Amino acid sequence: MVTKTILVFNVGSSSIKYSLFENTEKIETGNYERLKTKEDYKDTIEKIFEKIKNKKIDIIAHRVVHGGDLNHPTKISKSVKNKIQEFAEFAPLHNPKQLMVIELAEKYCNEQYAVFDTMFFADLPEVSRTYAIPKGLTKQYNIRRYGFHGFSHEFVSRNLKGKTITCHLGNGSSISAILDGKPLDTSMGLTPLEGLIMGTRSGTIDPGLVLFLEKKEKNANEILTEKSGLKGICGHTDFRDVLENKDKDPDSKLAYEMFVYQIVKIVGSYAAVLGGVDNLIFTAGIGEHSWKMRRDVCKHFEYLGLKIDEDKNKNSEEVISSSNSKIKVFVKPTNEEKMIVEEVLKNLK
């Protein structure tokens, strides 16, 4: 295969992570955080291209959170950009920023691809992807559970056989049930708002609460997307701050316990869906680094024969379960950028 130099942009709601690959080999990476304005993003893109100016970029690949019915790597065109804009309604913290970076990068490279976070869940079973609303609305607006963090869930679970539950736990969090590499269910839905409590997102709530907030003339979207979750409970959006304060601040303690409780609820429900668990995986910032959270989650599944090795857990080793545990428990760094490159290269063949 001819060597392709591929620049991957993984753009978040306040960050840009870039990785430079020669085919599937990463040769450079960098991360810029706490970006707020369009100028911040523009300046960051200019810095990145200045930094890599000695490299000829063949392809730029962008992780896009919500692609709707686009479920394969797609060369970016005006119609694709329109689609990303259309589904920004369902991923307001991400799609607009990702589209902005796509347009900022156009002057540096014509060959740009979008690879969608939702692709891994494109074939979720109908029973788990369908919402119990009128079928006409479902068809008219393409309403379904799309799922997110697909690259991460796929990467950490590949090559594992059997009944696997993957926990991508970070500022945005989701959990998936996977059988022999095929996803059966996932906690995020039409939008990245469903599921677990997150940094600023409420996670799953009674839909009646949305109606109540709107009756009170409150901005439900802003409240549930930007002001809820850990931030709403205790004022902290960073889980490290929650951990640091939980022994002295009742609100931080509650936020921590609610986060653990919700993980346990979802993992437990997926154990029922799968008919047991062979593999439990923790990944992403919180999943990879918080041994206390892993310990507190895992102790709820001792009745299933799960046993963790305390020293291995504290050291965040790849396998933290004990040798006599009936469930294998992993701590796996995710690699969304590598998955994106692999998908683009497959598409070029």
309 in the same domain as 190: yes
Q: Is residue 134 part of a domain?
A: no
Same-domain pairing of 104 and 168: no
Residue 348 falls inside a structural domain: no
Band the pLDDT of 66: cuts 50, 70, 90: confident
| pLDDT of res. 298 | 97
Among 116, 139, 169, residue at a domain's last position: 116
Cα(118)–Cα(121) distance, rounded to whole angstroms?
6
Q: Assess whether 76 and 179 both reside in one domain.
A: no
Does one domain contain both 174 and 270? yes
CATH of residue 110's domain is: 3.30.420.40
pLDDT in tens, 20-35: 999 888 998 998 888 8
Residue with tokens 């797609």: 74
- Examine the fold and report which residue of 93, 116, 139 is the final residue of a domain before the chain moves on: 116
- Dist. CA 282–CA 114, nearest whole Å: 27
Residue 341 covered by a domain: no
Mark whether 327 and 211 lie in a shared domain. yes
Mean pLDDT of the chain: 92
Q: Which residues contact 155 (CB under 8 A, 6 or more apart)?
A: 334, 335, 336, 338, 339
Token pair for residue 327? 């469930």
Q: What is the DSSP string of 82-123?
A: HHHHHGGGT-TTTHHHHHHHHHHHTTT-S-EEEEETTGGGTT
What is the pLDDT, as a whole number, of residue 167?
Answer: 97
185 contacts 121 by C-beta, under 8 angstroms: no
Quick one: pLDDT at residue 15?
82
**Options 117, 180, 251, 296, the catalytic residue:** 117
CB atoms closer than 10 angstroms to residue 42:
14
In the chain, the number of structural domains is: 2
- Regarding pTM above 0.75, the answer is yes
pLDDT digits (tens, 9 = 90+) for 135-184: 999 999 889 999 989 989 999 999 899 999 999 999 889 999 999 999 99
Q: Which residue has the tokens 């590598």?
A: 338
Q: Does residue 255 sit within a domain?
A: yes
State pLDDT tens for residues 261-277: 999 999 999 999 999 99
What's the rounded Cα separation, in Å, for the pair 241 and 231?
A: 11
Res 94: pLDDT: 83
Catalytic, 117? Answer yes
The CB density around residue 214, as the number of other CB atoms within 10 Å, is: 12
Statement to judge: residues 108 and 51 lie in one domain:
yes
Judged against a pLDDT cut of 70, whether residue 283 lies above it is answered with: yes
Compute the distance between CA of residue 61 and CA of residue 39 in angstroms, rounded to an integer. Answer: 22
pLDDT of res. 90? 82
Q: Tell whether 174 and 97 lie within a shared domain.
A: no
DSSP state of 173: -
Q: What is the pLDDT of residue 1?
A: 61
Asked if residue 154 belongs to a domain, the reply is no
The pLDDT of residue 344 is 87
The tens digit of pLDDT for each residue in 244-255 reads 999 999 999 999
Q: What is the pLDDT of residues 70-97, one digit of tens each?
A: 788 889 989 889 888 888 888 887 888 8
Looking at the fold, whether 310 and 200 belong to one and the same domain comes out as: yes
Does a structural domain hold residue 308?
Answer: yes
Same domain, 93 and 168: no
Together in a domain, 24 and 79: yes
Residue 101 structural domain: 5-116
**Is residue 345 situated within a structural domain?**
no
Tell me if 68 is assigned to some domain: yes
169 lies in the same domain as 281: yes
Chain segment 309-326, per-residue pLDDT in tens: 999 999 999 999 999 999
Q: State the helix-helix crossing angle for 95-105 and 38-51, rounded to 10 degrees.
A: 50
Which among 18, 109, 1, 102 is positioned nearest to 56, based on CA atoms?
A: 109
pLDDT band at 297 (very low <50, low <70, confident <90, very high): very high
Whether residue 166 is found in the same domain as residue 288: yes
pLDDT at residue 336, as a whole number? 85
